[in-house]
Amino acid sequence: MLRFCRIPPSRIRKLPTFFSATPEETREYTVAGMTCSHCALSVREEVSEIAAVGSVDVDVDSGRLTVSGSGIDDDAVRAAVAEAGYEVV
């Protein structure tokens, strides 16, 4: 005897989209040349414009740039930092 699934297709739940989406990640970079809060601000602004980026944190003293988001592209981050006038080392 054939057995059929009794659950109507509309009731079978698909995987929530967050399972298939690129997971959130955090990457750290070191930026050379930043000397004050204005430097940090311009780096933050440029990197924030990258679509994949959710949050940006810049520490002037250590030169550390922390970027969080989904599907972050290193080259895009480098380009954004260069746009601000600094360099990822």
Query: Which positions lie near Cu ion, rule CB under 5 A?
Result: 35-36, 38-39
CB of 39 to Cu ion, least distance (A): 3
**Is residue 68 left, alpha or beta, with left meaning phi > 0 and alpha meaning psi from -120 to 50?**
beta
Which lies closer to Cu ion via its Cβ, residue 72 or residue 88? 88
As measured in angstroms, the least distance from the Cβ of 44 to Cu ion is 12
- The tokens of 54 are what? 């959710």
Cα–Cα nearest to 53, from 20, 76, 31: 76
Q: How far is the CB of 40 from Cu ion (least distance, A)?
A: 7
